Structure 1
Amino acid sequence: MIAIAETASGKSHRDENFPVASFLISPERRAPVLAFYNFVRAADDISDHATLSPLEKLVLLDRLEAALLGEGPDEPVARALRETLADRGVAAQHALDLLTAFRRDVTKLRYDDWDDLIDYCRYSAMPVGRYVLDVHGEDAARSWGPNDALCAALQIINHLQDCGKDYRELNRVYLPQDCLARHGAGVEMLAGERSPPELRAAIAELAGKTRLLLAQSREFSGRIRDLRLAMEVGAIQSLAETLVEKLSVADPLCDKVHAGKAQFALIGTAGAAAVLMRRILERGRSR
């Protein structure tokens, strides 16, 4: 059996579509966030590995979970996160939920409807934000609702951006089957060089539903006490809103639907600055 370290793709947090532990996160909290990211990156690399069989992937994911819980052979990324969780007093459940999502990536290649997709996001995306909030000591009752909406939106944006690649390379289709059927589209269209009108209509519908999630998360930054984290959330919200508008009109099979580095920096900075300005004005009014 291949070692977990041998499945590494070489990707880092700097390769992600949205900020991960950027300079906005305070230095004392960046390390715990990166420990979580590195664990998740290892699990993601296992589930996406090009040559491993489904059974081999599941065995490695089980091994990663056992190492996290201190019940199996040592794995450096699991040990680092286990020690971080103990030091910060944060439960392992967020990481365990993500492992559930990665197992689902191995065993479930199609999603029936929007609710089915959101249930996947419950495990694949929402725990990431919840963990970051826990590390910052934020109030779950105030912050988890908008966090979940934003994290689900980010996940679905990634699915829409990479729908052709996911189908061609992994035979995964996250676009709900009922949405495709409603517009007369089939999964085989994802193998084409450009989307036919039926597929474009389905993607536009999903972009519209994602826009509604982002409307629910727009208040998120205002519910976060930590200013630096609030600014990071503001940057992510702005990037997501820009990308979902692009996806509502562009074709992810042939158009550029990822933000370039310059656009990434410009939009993210504007979003973070808007949060900072609101905080300054709020403090001024409260005096």
Structure 2
Amino acid sequence: MPFLDDLRQYGPDASYSMTLAEARAYCARLTASHYENFSVVTWLTPRRLRPAFQSIYAFCRWSDDLGDEIGDRQKSRELLAWWRGELRGMYEGKEPVCHPVLQTLHATVEEFSIPIEPFEALISAFEQDQDLTDYTTYDQLLDYCTRSANAVGHLVLYLARSFNPENAQLSDMTCTGLQLANFWQDVARDLALGRIYLPREDRQRFRYSDADLHELKFTPEFAALLKFEVDRARSLLDGGHRLALLLPRDIAVDVDLFSRGGLAILDRIEAQGFDVLTSRPRLGKLAKFGLLARALFRGPRPVASRATKIESATQAIGGSHRLPTGQGGTHL
């Protein structure tokens, strides 16, 4: 069902009543219906956690769609404000909780003692999408990732009952790396939506013009620019990979699979010469199966010989952003 149909049925002007079982079934259908590089909830996900994962994914999906699928930025701002109000009402004990996503989310929040902050951070990021469509600096982009992808990572840590400062830092590296990998995979797709995530300071450094970008012109300058960004994302994913060693085994496999998937997308970008403008890199079924097999049978990727990359990735999240670039490094 298209999102606008869902909005008419469950939006601020709708009148309806659902049981918790019906709400959970709705979230399960929503989770299963959207394409991702990897499904969010698979047969690998522990059965006991599937409803919780589905409730969180459904919240993220609704938040994202309120920002992306309305077609009117002012209306999106109004709907995201409504969505935040519904979320706060749920946390404040407002009765009844009617929306199917919030019904299921309420049960998840209660069971896993999840604070409101990651959910509000997500809404804030989608509100930013209505106003900031061309990022000037890498720091700006990292701030966006902190409130979008990293917030999701924190929610997963709560579901794993493994939220602590060390795990949160490793999760932030992994989630920022994954989001950057998706940005570099989708440069052309995002441009069609009027959004540019390639920082302007980097486009200028590599002398890739706005005109060439809007014409989707693949040039040596673009290849060098995207290699620079891919190296950053790979460094972050390498820096955060140790997270899978610190989580319960039944969740660690899923987390490791997503990390491997992000690296595989970066490898695919590199394999096609960094030209994401004329062909969107994606993973086929065979490649996904291979990643799954490695995650299942080899366990989390080894920690040895990663020290330099881990240090660089840590700085990228929390410090001076000095990253290996293949060109001797740069200080941003």
Query: Please, what TM-score do these two structures have when normalized by structure 1?
Result: 0.87
Partner of 2:318: none
- Structure 2 unmatched ranges of 5 or more: 11-28, 303-332
Q: 2:278 aligns with which of 238, 244, 254?
A: 254
* Correspondence 1:143 to 2:143: no
Whole-Å separation in 2 of the counterparts to 1:277 and 1:167:
34
* Correspondence 1:236 to 2:258: yes
Whole-Å separation in 2 of the counterparts to 1:42 and 1:187:
32
Q: CA deviation at 1:178?
A: 0.5
* Correspondence 1:181 to 2:195: no
Q: Is the 8 A contact 2:176 2:236 kept in 1?
A: yes
Q: Cα–Cα, structure 1 residues 175 and 223, in superposed 2: closer, same or farther, change >3 Å?
A: same
Q: 1:264 aligns with which of 288, 302, 305?
A: 288
Q: 2:119 aligns with which of 84, 88, 95?
A: 95
1:108-148 residue CA offsets vs partner (Å, 9 max, x unmatched):
11112222111110011011111011111114123111111
- More displaced stretch, 133-142 vs 98-107: 133-142
Whole-Å separation in 1 of the counterparts to 2:296 and 2:160:
18
Q: Give the % identical residues.
A: 23
* Correspondence 1:212 to 2:235: yes
* Correspondence 1:109 to 2:127: no
Q: CA deviation at 1:84?
A: 2.0
Whole-Å separation in 1 of the counterparts to 2:134 and 2:291:
33
Partner of 1:5: 7
Whole-Å separation in 1 of the counterparts to 2:214 and 2:297:
40
Aligned positions of 1:191-202 closer than 5 A: 191-202=214-225
Q: Is the 8 A contact 1:200 1:251 kept in 2?
A: yes
Q: CA deviation at 1:264?
A: 1.6
- Structure 1 unmatched ranges of 5 or more: 279-287
Q: Which amino acid aligns with 1:40?
A: C
Q: Is the 8 A contact 2:37 2:261 kept in 1?
A: no
How big is the alpha-carbon RMSD for the aligned residues of Structure 1 and Structure 2? 2.4
Q: CA deviation at 1:277?
A: 10
Partner of 2:108: 84
Q: Is the 8 A contact 1:111 1:173 kept in 2?
A: yes
Q: CA deviation at 1:207?
A: 0.3
- 3-state SS of 2:299 partner: helix
Query: Please, what TM-score do these two structures have when normalized by structure 2?
Result: 0.75
Q: Which amino acid aligns with 1:55?
A: Q
Whole-Å separation in 2 of the counterparts to 1:3 and 1:246:
36
Whole-Å separation in 1 of the counterparts to 2:227 and 2:301:
33
